[in-house]
A and B are shown apart, each in its own frame.
Chain A
């Protein structure tokens, strides 16, 4: 019983230690030093530009000071892409965890 209690305590402690629960989506892959948000281009502008280039956008958000976009590339790949919020430069593209582009 003592051993059992100890093991349960270890399991609970381990679980709690990792309880910095991450967001539901794979995120935090990129950090941008882009300055104040007031100088950022708008996210909708980025989406519009990408759509014109042939992307399908599912969702976009701010992550690590960059714009993170979930969508389908013109080549038909389902990706998660990071863009610089001022230069709109493509920084990282990953398809289901596999990095297919890195600046």
Chain B
């Protein structure tokens, strides 16, 4: 029974539970679309951040069973981030209800940063499969690295749309700390290799 936890499909299902809950809530009462905009966005960014934390955690802790477990499921996390981003957009569009207003708002900084980030997410999401990896080769990794500018856009989007920074900071500061640690470690290791005369690379 515990083996079930390791099945990938089960993990996908876990990630989908909030979305299922939100969709049921919306279907029961469409007026709640307004209240669902924020939580759907938060889940999107949360899964993105967890996925982004894995590489720096690996650099810091080395091989660990729990890290390997999560790394094997990183694709699911990324696709979930994309999915919740689309759900976030869907609730937003439904709540706005008017294409004129939607187009008008799209020019506001706090809103177009969201669209830009989602565009990156969708590009990453649709290529999150083995066939795309084979077809794109080196470009596949390059595309996945767009998660970094996407993260910046999301931080800006969240900060400016809410008009306050707490929620955004709570989510982004731990990631920033880990990425900083990873960069520091990278430089330390490189200079250590240089000192001992081992070829870097």
Contact = CB atoms under 8 A, between A and B. Distances in A.
Interface stretch (B15-23, B81-89, B167-175): B167-175
Interface residues of A, number: 33
B72 interface: no
A97 B112 CA distance: 13
A58 interface: yes
Most buried by A among B31, B162, B173: B162
B39 A24 contact: yes
Residue picked from A15, A76, A94, most chain B C-beta under 10 Å: A15
B178 A7 contact: yes
Contact of A98 (B61, B98, B110, B174): B110
A11 B178 contact: yes
B170 A21 contact: yes
Interface in B36-92: 38-39, 42, 60-62
Nearest to A20: B166
Contacts of B109: 98
Interface of A: 1, 3-4, 7-8, 10-12, 14-15, 18-22, 24-29, 58-59, 70, 72, 76-78, 94-98
Interface of B: 31, 34-35, 38-39, 42, 60-62, 95-96, 98, 100-101, 104-105, 108-111, 159-164, 166-167, 169-170, 173-174, 177-178, 181, 185
Given A19-B170, A59-B35, A76-B100, 16 more contacts: A3-B185, A7-B177, A10-B177, A21-B166, A22-B166, A22-B167, A25-B38, A25-B162, A59-B34, A76-B104, A77-B101, A94-B163, A96-B108, A96-B111, A98-B108, A98-B110
In the A-B complex, the 8 residue pairs with the smallest Cβ-Cβ separation, listed nearest first, are A26-B162, A18-B170, A4-B60, A7-B181, A97-B163, A11-B174, A97-B110, A97-B160
